[in-house]
Structure 1
Amino acid sequence: MDPVTHGIIGLGIAALSGQPLSIENPLVVGVTLGAIAPDLDVVVKYWGNYQYLKHHRGVSHSIVGLVGISLIITFGLSLFYKEASFLNLLLWVFLGSASHTFFDILNSYGVRPLLPFNNRKLVAGILMLYDPFITVLSLGLIFVNVDRATKILATIILVSLYISFRILIKNRVKKILDNRYKISERKDKLYVLPALMNFFKWDFIIQTKKYNIVGQINFITNKVKIRKKLIKPNNKLIKKAYRTELGRYFREFSPVTHVEIVEQDTNIELKITDLRFYLRNNFMHHVTIVFDENNQVIEEAFHPYKYDNRIVVQSA
C-alpha cells in the first residue's frame, strides 16, 4: 500500500485508543509515524531503483525491524512528550508499524517478516496496492463518533469479514478459470492476484507446458480478457541466465516470469519479464541478460517500472 493509505490506517488505529486525535497527543503522532515508517527504506532509491526494489519491504518490514522502528519513534517522542508513558506509547507505536507489515502481506508484493533469520516471503495476494474499503473504514474510525468498544468490535468484525470476502472471491475466480481452461486436469499452474487499478477485477497467469497466458477476469460478470499468450522458449541459456546475480534476484522478486530470446548478430539477449503487473498495455518490470557467441554473460540490465528504464547491473 502507499504511504498515505498507511498513514490513514495509523490514524484509524489511534482512534481506537479513545483518546483525542490531536498532534498534541503523543499516541496519535506515534501510531501514525509507526504506520508510515517501514517505507522509509525509500531512502535506498538514492542508489537507484534496482537497489530500492531489491531492499524494499526487507528488514524495515520485518518483526525485528518493526521493534527497532517502534523503539526509535517512542524514544524520540518521549523527548518531546515527557509526561507520556514509555511502555504504553511503545505498544501503540508498534501496533501502527505492525499494521503496515500486515496489510503489505495481504497484497501482491508481499513481505519477508522473519528477516534477517529467514528470507521467506509471505504473500496473500488478496488486496489491491490501494484498497478503497480499508481506506474508507479507517476514515470512518477517524470521523464517526461512537464509543471505543463499538469501534474496536466493529473494526475486528469488518476487517475479518472483508478479508474473508476477498479470499472467497479469489478462490471463486480460481475455480472459474480452472473449469474454463482445465488447469487442474492438465496440471498447469495458475496465479491469481488483485488487479492494480480495478476493485472488481483480478489478474491471472496460466503457465502451461507451451505457453504463458496473461489475462484478467471480472468477478461480477465472469468476463475474461486474454492480454497475452506468450510462447515459452526452450534454450539452455535460460537456466544459465537464472544463475546470474540479476537472474537469481529476479526469480526471488517474481514467482512468475516469461523469457523472450532475441538474437543480435553474434550475441543473444534474454529478456525476462515479471508477468504479475500489467499497466498501460505493458508489463512493469524486466531484466535483460546478454550472452556472447561463447555463451558467456557480457551484460545484465534491470528495467524497473517500464522497459525504457535501463540500469546496467553488470557489464563485461
Structure 2
Amino acid sequence: MDSLTQIVLGAAVGEAVLGRKIGNKAMLYGAIAGTIPDFDIFSSYLTDTVSALEIHRGFTHSILFSVLFAPLFAFIVCKYERYKNFKNWTLLFFLAFVTHPILDAQTTWGTQLFWPLDIRLAFKNVFVIDPLYTVPFLIFLILAMRQKKQAKKRRFYNNLGLIVSSSYLVLTLILKMISYQTFKKELANQQITYKSLKTKPTPLNTILWSANVETENAYLIGHSSFFDSKPIQFSEYTKNHHLLGELAKHPKTKRMMAISKGWFTINKENNTLYFNDLRFGTLSMQPNAQNFVFKYKIDVDANGNPTFTEEPKQKRDGKKLLSELWQRIKGN
C-alpha cells in the first residue's frame, strides 16, 4: 500500500499497544515503524532492475524481519525514552512491522511474508491506493489523537478505525469473489476456453474490476463494473514468447519470468524487444491499449547477456486514465 496508508496503520497499531502509557508518542513510533519495511525500495539505486524487483517486498516484508528487528529497535528506543518497558516496545515494533506486509499482501504485487521461502502472497483485493480504506482510518486516528491518553474515547476512536478498515478488507474479498464469478460466467457465455483467470480491482476503487485471462497463445484483459448492463469486452494480447529466442534460457530472463508469475508478453519495436508485465494491465481503459504499467526494454550486450530497464511512464497517461476510470465505473 502507499506510504500514507502504512503510516496510518502503523500509528493505529502503536496507539493500541502503548497509547495509554505514552500518548501520541505511541502513534509517532508506530508511524515510523510502519514505514521502515519500505526502505527496501532504495535497492533500485544499488543494483540492477531484476534484482531490485526480487528484493522489493522481500526480506523487510517478512515475519523473520519483524522477529529479528523489533527487539533491536526496542533496545535502541529504551536507551533514550523515559518509558523503558522493553517487552512493550518490542511488541509495538513487531506489530507495526508485521501488519505492514500483511496489508501489502492484499495488493497485486503481494509480499514475501514467509521469506526466505519463495512464496509471494498476493490476494489482489485492493489497489495499492484505496481512499475508502485510508480516509476513514485517518479520520478516526485524528479523533483519537485529540483525546487525552487515558480517555476512553481515545481507545474507542482508535479501535473503531482498526475495525472499520479491517472490515473493509473483508468486504473487498467478498467483492472479489463476486467479480470472479461474473468474469467466469461471461467467459462461458462467450465460449472462450482459458487456462487461468485472475481478478483485481482497478485503481482507487473496488467497484470496477479487471481480469487477466490466459489462453493458449494469448492473454485477455477485461473490465467489469457492478453497474454494467452489457457483456464484457476483452482485449487480446498475443504472448509472443517465441521472440525471446535463446534469451529465454538466460538466468536473468528466467528470473523476470518468475517475477511476473508467467503473466507477460513480448513485443518488438525498431528491432528492440520489450518485456510487458501483464499483471498490472495498461494505463488506459481503451481496447487493446499498449501503454503497459510495467514495460521493460531488453538490451543485449555482445556476450548475449540481457539488461532489463523499466520504461518511464507518461504523466498524461495517468491523468487520462483517471478520467476513463470514472466513466467506466458508471457502467458500460
Instruction: Say whether residues 1:273 and 2:276 are aligned partners.
Output: yes
Aligned to 1:72: 72
Give the direction of change, closer, same or farther, for the CA distance of 1:69–1:123 in structure 2 (3 Å limit).
same
The one-letter code sitting in structure 2 at the alignment partner of 1:108 is T
SS of 2:213's equivalent in the other structure is: strand
User: Structure 1: how far apart are the matches of 2:194 and 2:178?
Assistant: 19
SS of 1:275's equivalent in the other structure is: strand
> Contact 1:214–1:228 at 8 Å: present in 2 too?
yes
Instruction: Say whether residues 1:91 and 2:80 are aligned partners.
Output: no
Out of 253, 261, 285, which is 2:294 matched to? 285
User: Structure 2: how far apart are the matches of 1:298 and 1:226?
Assistant: 40
> Contact 2:59–2:65 at 8 Å: present in 1 too?
yes
Instruction: Say whether residues 1:180 and 2:180 are aligned partners.
Output: no
Q: CA deviation at 1:106?
A: 0.7
Give the direction of change, closer, same or farther, for the CA distance of 1:305–1:68 in structure 2 (3 Å limit).
farther
User: Structure 2 length as normaliser, TM-score?
Assistant: 0.77
Measured on the aligned residues, the alpha-carbon RMSD in Å equals 3.2
Q: CA deviation at 1:196?
A: 2.7
The one-letter code sitting in structure 2 at the alignment partner of 1:302 is F
Give the direction of change, closer, same or farther, for the CA distance of 1:20–1:83 in structure 2 (3 Å limit).
closer
User: Structure 2: how far apart are the matches of 1:74 and 1:57?
Assistant: 23
Give the direction of change, closer, same or farther, for the CA distance of 1:73–1:290 in structure 2 (3 Å limit).
closer
User: Structure 2: how far apart are the matches of 1:286 and 1:13?
Assistant: 37
Aligned to 2:199: 192
SS of 1:9's equivalent in the other structure is: helix
User: Structure 2: how far apart are the matches of 1:150 and 1:223?
Assistant: 45
> Contact 1:66–1:98 at 8 Å: present in 2 too?
yes
Aligned to 1:127: 126
Q: Deviations over 1:62-110 (max 9, x none)?
A: 1111223322321221122043211111101211111111100111101
Q: CA deviation at 1:40?
A: 1.1
User: Structure 2: how far apart are the matches of 1:206 and 1:47?
Assistant: 35
Task: Judge which range, 49-58 or 83-92, deviates more.
Answer: 49-58
5 Å matches for 1:176-255? 176-182=182-188, 186-221=193-228, 226=233, 228-233=235-240, 235=242, 238=244, 240-255=246-261
Aligned to 1:19: 20
Q: CA deviation at 1:258?
A: 1.4
Aligned to 1:259: 266
User: Structure 1: how far apart are the matches of 2:61 and 2:55?
Assistant: 10
> Contact 1:289–1:297 at 8 Å: present in 2 too?
no
SS of 1:142's equivalent in the other structure is: helix
Query: Is the strand fraction higher in 1 or 2?
Result: 1
User: Structure 1 length as normaliser, TM-score?
Assistant: 0.80
Query: Is the helix fraction higher in 1 or 2?
Result: 2
The one-letter code sitting in structure 2 at the alignment partner of 1:247 is T
SS of 1:144's equivalent in the other structure is: helix
User: Structure 1: how far apart are the matches of 2:185 and 2:211?
Assistant: 14
SS of 2:181's equivalent in the other structure is: helix
Aligned to 1:313: none
Q: Which runs of 5+ in 2 are unaligned?
A: 145-151, 315-332
SS of 1:84's equivalent in the other structure is: coil
SS of 2:109's equivalent in the other structure is: coil
User: Structure 1: how far apart are the matches of 2:236 and 2:192?
Assistant: 20
Number of aligned residue pairs: 297
Instruction: Say whether residues 1:100 and 2:100 are aligned partners.
Output: yes
Q: CA deviation at 1:157?
A: 4.4
Aligned to 1:31: 30
Q: Deviations over 1:18-69 (max 9, x none)?
A: 438856x3x3333222111101112213225614323111111111112233
User: Structure 1: how far apart are the matches of 2:138 and 2:264?
Assistant: 38
The one-letter code sitting in structure 1 at the alignment partner of 2:74 is T
User: Structure 1: how far apart are the matches of 2:264 and 2:192?
Assistant: 23
SS of 2:7's equivalent in the other structure is: helix
Q: CA deviation at 1:203?
A: 1.9
Q: CA deviation at 1:6?
A: 0.6
